[in-house]
Each structure stands twice: as structure tokens, then as C-alpha cells.
Amino acid sequence: MLPKIDWSNTAERKEKIIQAKKHIKSFMPKDMKSLWGNLSEAVHQKTEEIQREEKQNGTAIPILEMQDLLQQSLPADTIENFKKKGAIVVRGVIPKHQIDTWYAGLKEYLQENDYDKQKVDPNLDTYFSNLASKKPQIYNIFWSKCQMNLRQHPNLAKVKVFLNSFWTSEKNGMQYFDKNKDITYADRLRIRQPKDTSLGLSPHIDGGSVERWMDDANIKIYKKIFQGNWQEYSPFEAAYRNEVENIPSPAVCRAFRTYQGWVALSPQGPGDGSLKVIPMLKEASAYFLLRPFLEDVDDSQLSGAQPGKAQSIDSTWHQALLEALVSIPKMQPGDTVWWHSDLVHAVEDTHTGSDESSVVYIGSAPLCKRNKAFLELQKPTFLQGLSSPDFAKENREVNYTNRASLADLNDIGKKQMGFLPWD
């Protein structure tokens, strides 16, 4: 539960932050100096490791081939590496010729429905407005056939089952989610033109900001970190994760996601306005969560966290982490990248490449009570062509021709959308 307050009232908000920090301090170790010293050293070591891998292998991000995943012949060291890094590239998930056809159809859909000429209120979408860089070329489109076809592709479902198998989704007779089933969380897409400099996304973590210190479920999730035992914290422990309460805001995800991810529609690599991540899960979480308890942060502040905004990771408060920010490797159409819901990520500010850099965002939202409830909100938006429930209500696709309909869904798609029961 989050405290019920008027988040726009500065005095009230500051008072609640003071109380929340006091509560967390009641179970924090008294010797903050040695805790921070050890953690900083661990972050430094991980950063060196990441930089070394970048130099030696060209990337610090673990990579798997879909073919190997299907044949279950996966290198154990890659899996171990992924659990520490929190990010992975799975190549060749959708055949290139299939992507090319769907991508061409998507462009046609945008063109025939005059996406670029549509007038919408620019104040509707402000979630990232506290980040130094703001929005890349994100299209507020949710129901194109291209997106629906990708979401319901059996290979994507297999990748998600594989990635969710690393979570402890059941414990002491409690099932937090079903790792073999998932829902569609309808997200948007990016088409970025070559030479585009219209702003990327500064490093951030999805899933709210101040909530991580103020919501009871979050405090339970991160308790080991707050207690100073960050080494024992498991980012893949599902308990309490789907009970987290966020401050309502456009683009705060109301569903429970284990990973965010995307499918490449075009070739793109470092420098092409693509994704960057800090491939360090446990240490980076401990770093940003403990940072507000250092002496240079006022009792009423949380190292730059702003209610209703993404958690920014910036040079004022988190410089050590930024040293480990790296680009994902070159991607080809049909390749996918996945990152843990707590991982710091960013989109490059400029696209210096010579081709469009395009992706469809498809995360992993496994089946659970929370996500079933979300589906009930999402179903009518699909049927009517409204914006997906968590996003700014631009509702651009209401009158679009060639929008995906029920008839375009296969059995997987119908189950993922809640129109057929998972057996």
C-alpha cells in the first residue's frame, strides 16, 4: 500500500518521505559508511568487468540463439551471466522475411491512417518529462496487425516461458504467477529516422520512483537491501512483486511485468538511436535504493525521485552506475532484447546511422491475478481501438482502417488477450 496523499502538495509529500525514510532507517545497519564502501567497491568491480567484456567480446550483454533455445542446448555460462546482468539478447526469434512483411504492413497502416497529421493534446503524455532527454520517436499505436502478430507468435511465447523460469514464482505453497502462461501487455513502437536527434531517453528504471521507498510491497521486496544484506537479495524472487502499488500516471505500468523487451523490425546497433543498459542487477538496485540515505541527501528527498515519473539515474546522484552504461550489440530484424523490470536502461540521444531504427515493445507479463484484472481493462481498448489502458489517452486508432480485430488473433493471441481461457 502507498500512503494516501496528495502527491502535488509539496509539504505533505516531504513529510511522508521523511516518515518513510525514518521507517526504513529503523532496520538499516547503523554503520552506513562501511555498507556504502563495500557496495561502491562491488559496483566498481562489476563496472570493470562490464568494460572488459565490452573490449574483449564487443558486448557485455549475453546472447542466445532461438535455435539453441528450441533445442534446449543452452550454454550454462550464458544463463549464469544473464542472471547477474539482468539483460539478454535472443537472436532469430522471428524469421526475417516475416518481419519484413509485417514491418511493411505497419508503415502502410500508419500512412493510410495519416498518423503524422493527427492532432493530439501534447500535454497528455508527460511521464518522462523529468528526464533530461525526453521522447524518441515513439508511436502511440497499440493495435496494428504487425504488433498483434508479433505478440502472438509462438516463438515469443517460448522465449518468455524460458526467461520466466529463472524467477522463483512459487514458494511455500503460494503461486505468485504462472511462468508457463502470459498476457499481452499492449505497448507501443519506435520508428526512428536516420540522423534523428529528437531526443532519446536518459537512463531510468521503469515502474515508478518514490514508490520504491514508500510502498509496503516494495519495502518487502527490497528488505534485504535496506537491511544492508544486499548480497543476499534476489532480483528474481517474485514474492510481493505483483502487489506493488504505483502512483497513477500515464505510462506507469499497472500490469505486473517480469521483463521489458522489444523485437527489432530493422537492423540497428550502437549509435543508431538504440537501447543502452546498465547490465548490473543486484548491485545497481542496492546502489540507487541506498543512495538517499547518504548524508548529502536531505531527509525529505529521495535522490532525485519525483512522484509520477520514471526513476531517473543521473550524474548528480548515481555517477558510479553511469560508468557501466553500455549499448546493446547490433541487432537484426527478428532479434529480441529483454531486460529485468528493475534494470537501468536508456535510449541513445542521436541516431547517427543511415537506416530507420525500429522496434515493437513487447514485455513479459505472466499470468497472475493482477494481470488477469488488467486484461479486463485492456480488452475493450483493443475492441474499440483506444489507447492501451496505461498510456496517454490519445486514442488514435479508433477510426483506423486495417486495425487488428478478433479475427486476426490465433489461439495463443486469444488466450493472451483474455478472449479464451488458458486451460
Min separation Cβ 187 and Fe ion, Å: 10
Q: Which lies closer to Fe ion via its Cβ, residue 137 or residue 149? A: 137
Q: Report the nearest approach of Fe ion to the CB of residue 45 (Å).
A: 26
Question: Rounded to whole angstroms, what are the CA distances from 150 to 98, 408, 409?
Answer: 10, 12, 11
Taking the least distance from each CB to Fe ion, the nearer of 53 and 206 is 206
Between 66 and 210, whose beta carbon lies closer to Fe ion? 210
Cβ(176)–Cβ(370) below 8 Å: no
Alpha helices in 222-306 (DSSP H): 223-226, 282-290
- Using CA atoms, how far apart are residues 48 and 52, in angstroms rounded to an integer? 6
Using the contact rule CB under 5 A, the part of the chain among 14-22, 101-109, 205-213, 389-397 near Fe ion is 205-213
Q: Which is nearer to Fe ion, 233 or 262 (CB)?
A: 262
Of 206 and 342, which CB lies nearer to Fe ion in the complex structure?
Answer: 206
Cα 54 to its chain centre, rounded Å, is 23
Round to whole Å and give the CA distance between 346 and 308.
Answer: 18
Site for Fe ion in 212-251 (CB under 5 A): none
Choose, by CB under 5 A, the member of 206, 211, 215, 283 that binds Fe ion: 206
Count the helices and strands in the chain (H runs, E runs).
14, 16
List, in order, residues 6 or more apart from 130 with CB less than 8 Å away.
Answer: 306, 309, 310, 312
Question: Nine-digit cell at 41?
Answer: 567497491
The answer to whether 211 contacts Fe ion (rule: CB under 5 A) is no
The residue range among 13-21, 122-130, 171-179, 198-206 that interacts with Fe ion, by the rule CB under 5 A, is 198-206
Stretch that binds Fe ion, among 158-166, 200-208, 279-287, 392-400 (CB under 5 A): 200-208
Cβ of residue 90: shortest distance to Fe ion, in angstroms? 19
Question: Interface mask (CB under 5 A) for Fe ion, residues 154-193, using x and -?
Answer: ----------------------------------------
Q: Which is nearer to Fe ion, 206 or 390 (CB)?
A: 206
Nearer to Fe ion by Cβ, of 13 and 192: the residue is 192
Give 74-93 as a DSSP string.
--HHHHHHHHHH-EEEEE-S
Beta bridge partners of 364: 259
Count, residues near Fe ion per rule CB under 5 A: 1
Q: Which stretch binds Fe ion (CB under 5 A): 104-112, 202-210, 316-324, 406-414?
A: 202-210
Q: How many other β-carbons are positioned within 10 Å of the β-carbon of residue 53?
A: 18
Q: Shortest CA distance to 136 belongs to which of 202, 208, 205, 209? A: 202
Interface with Fe ion (CB under 5 A): 206
